[in-house]
Structure 1
Amino acid sequence: MCENLVIKDFRTLKVWQKANSLEQEIGELVKGFPNHEQYRLVDQIIRSSRSIGANIAEGNTQLFIKRELFHANSALGSAGECRNHLLIACQNGYIHREQYDDLDEKLIEIIKMLYGYIKRLKSKLDNESDAAEP
């Protein structure tokens, strides 16, 4: 079994690459937030942005498509959460509207890519189910 084992590398997924790049950008951005937001909004933005890539990676490493779908859907939720936190940061004046618009656009692109990824996984699951039936 080990000789033919193929280990998928999440780092090759374009959606993971974009999520990772966004996470790095957000990590730099929040350094300018006020100290009183350090354990509130900053923590939430960092956690939600990290969760996108982490869930993609965890799902892609799974053996079962249903588990991969679960994690892709979780990444989708984290992207929505991150959009919300960034909007709050903009509304509170911690980031400029242009910065928010740029990051929101990147998150929308990641969300669209996740929709495509989920659609592809569902199709793969359907094909597997068809093959299993007599």
Structure 2
Amino acid sequence: MAAKHNFRKLTIWKEGIELVKETYKSTKIFPKSEIYGLSNQMQRCSISVPSNIAEGTSKGSTKHFLQYLENALGSAFEWETHLIIAFEIGYVSESTFNHLENKIQSIQKMITRFMENIVNH
């Protein structure tokens, strides 16, 4: 069965990939003591966003696709929480925080709208 969506063409997937790249760039400057802590958690969450979107496109039913989109959304909110913590403990600057917060909130909104469009069609 062919996928209903080509994940590579989905803006939410592309934005997720950008989030991964920015996460790795941002966490590179975290203290070495965080390599298996917060930086690793942020990296894993960021990877989870586009990965769940891509995996969801392979599912045969709308219900299952929506579950994967929900997982991607959950990872986006988890990532935002990690970002807030990183800012609060001084690992990211205010300008980086503001930029990344806007980016993740935009992704969250896009995923939510995409899910709503799928449900309403």
Q: Verify same fold: TM over 0.5.
A: yes
Bigger Rg, structure 1 or 2: 1
8 A contact 2:2–2:58 mirrored in 1: no
Structure 1 gaps of 5+ residues are: 125-134
8 A contact 1:51–1:78 mirrored in 2: yes
Q: What percent identity do the matched residue pairs reach?
A: 33
8 A contact 1:10–1:61 mirrored in 2: no
- Please give the residue correspondences for 1:72-87 in structure 2 after superposition, counting only pairs within 5 Å: 72-87=69-84
Structure 2 gaps of 5+ residues are: none
How far the C-alpha of 1:22 sits from its partner, in A, is: 1.0
1:38 aligns with 2:30: no
Q: Which runs of 4+ in 1 moved over 6 A?
A: none
Deviations 1:53-106 (A, max 9, x none): 111111112111000000001111000000000111111111101101100100
> Which position in structure 2 is the counterpart of 1:63?
60
> TM-score when scaled to structure 2?
0.94
**How many correspondences in the alignment?**
120
Q: Tell me the SS of whatever aligns to 2:53.
A: helix
* Corresponding letter in the other structure for 1:59: G
> TM-score when scaled to structure 1?
0.86
